Structure 1
Amino acid sequence: MESEPDKFVDKLRQLQRAQPFRPFRLYLTDGTQFEVRHPEAAWLTKGGLYVGLFEDGSEDDVPESSAFCSLLHITRVEVGERASA
């Protein structure tokens, strides 16, 4: 039987691999929010998700830095509109 964390990892994997990709936002227990605006700007692990952080308004496809979001602290995931091609 699959555990709840495993199901959540599967859900994040589905969001990351969706075709076409739709950006999504992670909400954490401390109120922090992170937007995953490109599938290659998220690195999934068994314990959480590393999210590539971009400067506001940046069109660059290489993140400035990253943040780790523990699965234990992700309270909600909101899926946005389709990314433009």
Structure 2
Amino acid sequence: MARELYPEEPTATANLQASQKTNRGFHHDFFGGLLCPCSMDWKDPKVKADLVATPQMVSTAASPLFFYPKGEYDPEDLCKGILQGELIL
């Protein structure tokens, strides 16, 4: 599904194997970015390292980027477009 929704991301499904789960979630560069709360910057190496080391630091109230279409949200109005992401629909 990610391959069809994000064809511009060649690494979206790279190195994913059904039998291994060590490269999933925040450990995967592309999917970690989708799971990253919109209040954090996934491109910041410190944020990325912190989320990989302690994923439980993300609040259940935080809105991950995959909630929004193409991961684009309005910082002034977080409700705008929420739950309209392609992976949800």
TM-score w.r.t. structure 1 length? 0.29
Is the helix fraction higher in 1 or 2?
2
Is the strand fraction higher in 1 or 2?
1
TM-score w.r.t. structure 2 length? 0.28
